[in-house]
Amino acid sequence: MPATPSADAPVVRIETSMGAIRVRLDRAHAPRTVENFLRYVGESFYDGTIFHRVIDDFMIQGGGYTSGMARKQTHEPIALEISPALRHVDGAIAMARTNDPNSATAQFYICDGPQSGLDDSYAPFGVVIEGMDVARAIASTPTGPGDVPRTEVTIRSIRSE
């Protein structure tokens, strides 16, 4: 897929307190998941949320809480959308969820290294095309209980390019 935005491969820019991450989304293989994510992006839902769970060499998770771990209200969950074309490669973006496979709402994670054990259980829907160094820096942030960063890492905004 091209690194420039197109109808089937829109690009979003995640501005964080530690730098920017650009992500190419894969609408061709995860149409419902991409539309769900872009709905939240279009509503500026992610502005001011935090990466609330970070694990070095695994992933960074955000999009559900604001400063002080205040949970944000979301839309209804979406069904799990799995495609063999999308895997948990290094830099993959995927939907976080509860134990219910059909419970994804707004929270997402970015893989820090390949995470093939998550394939067929969680829904990847794109990949980082720029700023993986920022994602890795976030992943290596010192954490406390629950893998919560000791210093908040804020998602200032996510915008479509």
Residues 53-84: tens digit of each pLDDT = 999 999 999 999 999 999 999 999 999 999 99
Task: Show the tokens assigned to 161.
Answer: 């390019």
pTM for the whole structure = 0.95
What are the tens digits of pLDDT across the range 14-56? 999 999 999 999 999 999 999 999 999 999 999 999 999 999 9
Q: How far apart are CA 2 and CA 142, in angstroms?
A: 35
Collapsed DSSP state (helix, strand, coil) of residue 42 = helix
CATH class of 11-160: mainly beta
Domain range summary for the chain, segments of one domain joined by +: 11-160
C-alpha to C-alpha distance for 98 and 130, rounded to whole angstroms: 29
For the chain, percent of residues with pLDDT exceeding 70: 96
Tokens 């995860």 sit at which residue?
30
Note the pLDDT of residue 8: 80
* Confidence check: pLDDT of 1 > 80: no
What is the reported pLDDT for 2?
40
Closest by CA to 65, choosing from 100, 107, 18, is: 107
